[in-house]
Amino acid sequence: MKRRDGRYIFVAPAIVLLSLVTIYPAIYVFILSLRRKMLIFHISRFTGLDNYIFLLKDDRFWNALWNTVYFTAVSVSLEMLLGLGIALLLNRPFAAKGMVRAAVLVPWAIPTVVSARMWEWIFNSDFGILNYLLGMKINWLGNPSWALHAAIFADVWKTTPFVAILLMAGLQVIPRELGQAARIDGAGAWGVFRHVTLPLLKPVILVALIFRTLDAFRVFDVVYVLTGGGPANSTETLSVYAYKVLFQTLQFGYGSALSVVVFLCVGGISILYIKLLSGIRA
Amino acid sequence: MIILLCLLIFPGCSDRETSEKAHGTVLVFKHGKIAGDPGPLRRLLARFERENPGIEVSDETLPASSDAQHQFYVINLEAGSADFDVMGLDVIWVPEFARAGWLRETDRLMPQKERDDFFPGPVEAVTYRGKAWAVPWYIDAGVLYYRKDLLDRYGFKPPGTWQELVFESQYVTAMEKGLYGFVWQGKQYEGLVCNVLEFLRSNGGGVLSNGRVVIDSPANRFALGFMRDLIVKYRVTPPLVTTADEESTRHIFGNGRALFMRNWPYAWNIFTVENSQVRGRVGVAPLPAFPGGRSSPTLGGWQLGINRCSRHPEAAERFVRFMTSPSSQKYLALTIGYKPTRKSLYRDHELLARQPFIAGLYGILMNARSRPVTPYYMMMTQVLQPEFSAALTGVRKPAEALGSVARQTGHIMGIEQ
């Protein structure tokens, strides 16, 4: 019994810290989401699920949700495909390997706000280098059908290296002998990849997927800097919308309800992935 | 975000004592970062300290972005912070902050006789429920920049109506290669609201009238549709304006690539420096209007307000009076180009001699109109921005966008019921 008690004492600091910085704010936001709270007008009263009912009828919310889902699905798919390709390339022996690996990481090392500002200039339809190279006048950030794709592009550029490095680490723990044995048994390059590398890499791929999906779903900075949510809200994601409602219009109740929805979505995605992951392990 | 939220739990002024010097008062002055040399402002503060022994001013800057400053003030004022006494306020915040009870009333600082010396726009913007809640510090308004050399070459005068502007743009851009006609700020942000209001109001329209929502009117529909037509029908405005802010249009015009530009007066100084490509070839005129309407530049600029929780209200009042005095405003106009909010300074010989540009601004500033003066403004602009953007990019027809604005602003105005 004594030893058991001791264990709790040792984990207590961690639990207290977690409660303070994570659990308490999360619960507080949930409580706020059940209130109508507007600082300016000194309104603060319990309204139950009113905020959530309003949310269901709020076109802007559905638009933001769709933008977020689209952004997440497309950017994460591209990042995984490109990241896997780069990881496979980097995993082969070649000259100046260390240099190339370090260079690949550069986009990931640049703060998102800085890289987003850089992309804002690259995408500039008047003097941006992208249109110069293409010899066209595409209004990347000002056209509602292009803008979200431009944001996805900037995000893929930044986070593909992260995926690549993660997957490369996974590739390196796969024993080379397995591939060689498969080749002796008559498997081609594709066969080795499909039946040896990919199954062994699956857990790492899922970990990369979890990280990237959760990050992409909460995307804020790249969009906020590139377009601020425009034009015509075509790039407004849930986090950007929640930020505007919370900190620009100061509607804390409704803004908290939006945050809770982001939290629930992210939680749902996590649970799904963890189920998948434990399925693989078992 | 969540952690920021938690800072907002405790209202009321905090009684926490700051480390104060035993022999005097430390006045904290919060304001946005000044673009350029902070030296002149520092010297002005030093003068205040010399003239007011016993008061020390601590000059604390916030990020230049208006949104970032708004967020800082809201969080700290709601928490009852007494860590700063005087603050720089964007022209659109005053009714909101006053409604929330965060500001100390400043009627005493603007007695009627003096009030008449201020431009009417900023006075309206700082007045809420019949009282003044801040003192106008410097002023801004939308103006039309034009290429004097090009208009002269084709025998045109600066346009008085939007239709003339279209005609002149079409004519000159047909003759000059690689020249845009008219650039303005059409990105989905606060600047877009300023631009659109100038079109709506110069057609006799607007957003609110006597507290009622009047946005969905034929005049407004026409004006908003006209803005879209500038891009797609008349083709005098490049599609890139739907992502343009002040600086990107200033670059285009400054590189000699546009005939007309709508912008704030700050750009003038940049066009007059030695290595500017358009030096000596730029003119400034009032924004055009629609036939029968009048030029309606949107008002910008900053005011000085006093924190209601300030522990040194008398010193703070003295400081605001000093900073908004004719001599301080003149000094800042001469050194960092802040446009004075007092009309009398536009007849000041020294100022006119050294900055002839401001003589032409007087009439424009007299007509400057504030964005809807209401504590709901920050909510309202979040509705206006995407809807205006949707109309400009063709996602919605002007009538649909304005109808949607009317519904949503109606909902916002009813929030207190």
**For the segment B204-248, what is each residue's pLDDT rounded down to a tens digit?**
999 999 889 999 999 999 999 999 999 999 999 999 999 999 999
Q: What pLDDT does residue B36 have? A: 78
Instruction: Tell me the C-alpha distance between B390 and A234, whole Å.
Output: 9
Could you tell me if B381 and B207 are in contact, meaning their C-beta atoms sit under 8 angstroms apart? no
Measure in Å the smallest separation between the Cα of A59 and chain B Cα atoms: 11
Is the per-residue pLDDT at A122 higher than 60?
Answer: yes
Q: In the predicted model, what is the mean pLDDT of residues B131-149?
A: 97
Q: Where in chain B is the domain with CATH 3.40.190.10?
A: 19-139+299-367, 143-296+376-412
Quote the Cα angle for B59-B61-B67, to 5°. Answer: 145
Is the per-residue pLDDT at B374 higher than 50?
Answer: yes
- Whether A29 and B5 lie within 8 Å, measured CB to CB: yes
Q: What pLDDT does residue A281 have? A: 62
B414 touches A at CB < 8 Å: no
**What is the tens place of the pLDDT at every residue in B309-341?**
999 999 999 999 999 999 999 999 999 989 999
B396 touches A at CB < 8 Å: yes
Q: What pLDDT does residue A8 have? A: 83
Hey, what are A79's tokens?
A: 């990042």
Output the CA–CA distances (angstroms, integers) from residue B250 to A66, A78, B147, B241, B266, in the order listed.
35, 36, 13, 12, 10
B413 touches A at CB < 8 Å: no
Hey, what are B288's tokens?
A: 């055009």
Strand residues in B96-227 grouped as ranges (E): 127-128, 131-132, 135-141, 143-147, 180-183, 208-209, 212-213
CB pairs under 8 A between A and B: 129
Q: What pLDDT does residue B11 have? A: 52
- Whether A39 and B396 lie within 8 Å, measured CB to CB: no
Q: Report chain B's mean pLDDT, rounded to a whole number.
A: 92
B281 touches A at CB < 8 Å: no
Q: What is the residue whose two structure tokens read 């804020």?
A: A220
Residues 6+ apart with CB under 8 A from A83: A160, A161, A162, A163, A164, A166, A167, A208
**Measured between CB atoms, which of B6, B74, B187 is closest to A25?**
B6
Q: What pLDDT does residue A66 have? A: 97
Chain centroid to Cα B231, Å, comes to 25
Helices (H) then strands (E): counts for chain A: 15, 2
Q: What pLDDT does residue B3 have? A: 47
pLDDT tier at B249 (50, 70, 90 boundaries)?
very high
pLDDT tier at B9 (50, 70, 90 boundaries)?
very low
For B305, the enclosing helix (H) or strand (E) is strand B299-306
Within 114-153 of B, beta carbons closer than 8 Å to A belong to none
Domain range A51-281, CATH class: mainly alpha
Hey, what are A10's tokens?
A: 């040792």
**Measured between CB atoms, which of A25, A245, A247 is closest to B3?**
A25
- Whether B1 and A38 lie within 8 Å, measured CB to CB: no
Q: What pLDDT does residue A282 have? A: 58
Q: What pLDDT does residue B8 have? A: 47
Choose from B188, B231, B255 for mutation: most chain A CBs within 10 A: B188
A28 touches B at CB < 8 Å: yes
Report the range out of A100-109, A166-175, B342-351 with the highest average pLDDT. B342-351
Partners of residue A50 in chain B, C-beta under 8 Å? none
Chain centroid to Cα B404, Å, comes to 26
Is the per-residue pLDDT at B299 higher than 70?
Answer: yes
Residues in chain A: 282
A21 touches B at CB < 8 Å: yes
Hey, what are B162's tokens?
A: 């939007």
B74 touches A at CB < 8 Å: yes
Q: What pLDDT does residue B2 have? A: 47
Strand partners, B283: B146
Tell me the backbone φ, ψ of residue B140, rounded to 5 degrees. Answer: -140, 155
Could you tell me if A209 and A274 are in contact, meaning their C-beta atoms sit under 8 angstroms apart? no
Q: Which residue has the higher pLDDT, B397 or A188?
A: B397
Could you tell me if B244 and B183 are in contact, meaning their C-beta atoms sit under 8 angstroms apart? yes
pLDDT tier at A32 (50, 70, 90 boundaries)?
very high
Q: What pLDDT does residue A93 have? A: 81
Instruction: Tell me the C-alpha distance between A87 and B267, whole Å.
Output: 49
CATH T-level fold of B19-139+299-367 = D-Maltodextrin-Binding Protein; domain 2 (3.40.190)
**Measured between CB atoms, which of A39, A143, A256 is closest to B74?**
A39
Partners of residue A248 in chain B, C-beta under 8 Å? 67, 70-71, 378, 382
Residues 6+ apart with CB under 8 A from A211: A162, A166
What would the DSSP string read from start to end of B69-122? HHHHHHHHHHTT--S-SEEEEETTTHHHHHHHT-B---GGGS-HHHHTTB-HHH
Output the CA–CA distances (angstroms, integers) from residue A65 to A58, A143, A150, A234, B75, in the order listed.
11, 20, 18, 11, 27
Residues 6+ apart with CB under 8 A from A30: A256, A260
**Measured between CB atoms, which of A60, A142, A256 is closest to B242?**
A142
Burial annotation A107-143 (CB, 10 A radius, 16+ → b, else e): bbeeebeebbeebbebbbbbebebbeeeeeebbbbbb
Q: What is the residue whose two structure tokens read 């100390």?
A: B104
Within 2-21 of B, beta carbons closer than 8 Å to A belong to 2-6, 8
Partners of residue B231 in chain A, C-beta under 8 Å? none
Q: Report chain A's mean pLDDT, rounded to a whole number.
A: 91
What is the percent of chain B where pLDDT is above 70? 95
**What is the tens place of the pLDDT at every residue in B163-191?**
999 999 999 999 999 999 999 999 999 99
Could you tell me if A83 and A252 are in contact, meaning their C-beta atoms sit under 8 angstroms apart? no
Q: Which CATH architecture best describes the domain B143-296+376-412?
A: 3-Layer(aba) Sandwich (3.40)
Q: What pLDDT does residue B7 have? A: 47
Measure in Å the smallest separation between the Cα of B4 and chain A Cα atoms: 10
What is the percent of chain A where pLDDT is above 70? 97
Is the per-residue pLDDT at B58 higher than 80?
Answer: yes
Hey, what are B273's tokens?
A: 């420096």
pLDDT tier at B130 (50, 70, 90 boundaries)?
very high
Output the CA–CA distances (angstroms, integers) from residue B194 to B298, B370, B372, in the order listed.
6, 9, 11
